[in-house]
Amino acid sequence: MYDGIWFITVGILEIILGFPLFLKKIPPNRIYGFRTRALRNNTNLWYKINRICGKYLILSGILLVILNIILLIAIDDISPEIKRIVAILFMLFSLIAITIRCIILSNIENNNFSERKS
């Protein structure tokens, strides 16, 4: 049996975790959010980058939920193992893509801030 409910739960968790970041409700800290030393030392940069990363996390969660609803309901002729692999690969690739995008944005914004400062 395909465990799509678990993947839907993970998608919902991504959405829930992304919203406070997107709404700029999480101050710089060492536990929650996209964290680098540069971001923790610059509050404006922290909120800007975490808002973007939160948006990506919400989008990833929505897409993961939709994908798994489709896999659960609409597609019967694919084996549960293939469905599981598709869901895991989507989840991994989307989280890796979010992380890479946030690292790149953080570095660009930090460099821009440093150039304006000097």
DSSP 41-72: H-HHHHHHHHHHHHHHHHHHHHHHHHHHHHHH
Task: Give the residue, 110 or 66, on which the prediction is more confident.
Answer: 66
For the chain, which residues make up each domain, given as ranges?
A: 4-117
Mean pLDDT for the chain overall: 90
What local confidence, expressed as pLDDT, does residue 41 receive? Answer: 85
User: Which residue type occupies 38?
Assistant: A
pTM (two decimals): 0.87
Q: Which residues contact 18 (CB under 8 A, 6 or more apart)?
A: 53, 54, 55, 56, 57, 58, 60, 61
Q: Is pLDDT above 90 for 102?
A: yes
Is 109:47 a contact under the CB 8 Å cutoff? no
Q: What percent of the chain has pLDDT over 90?
A: 65
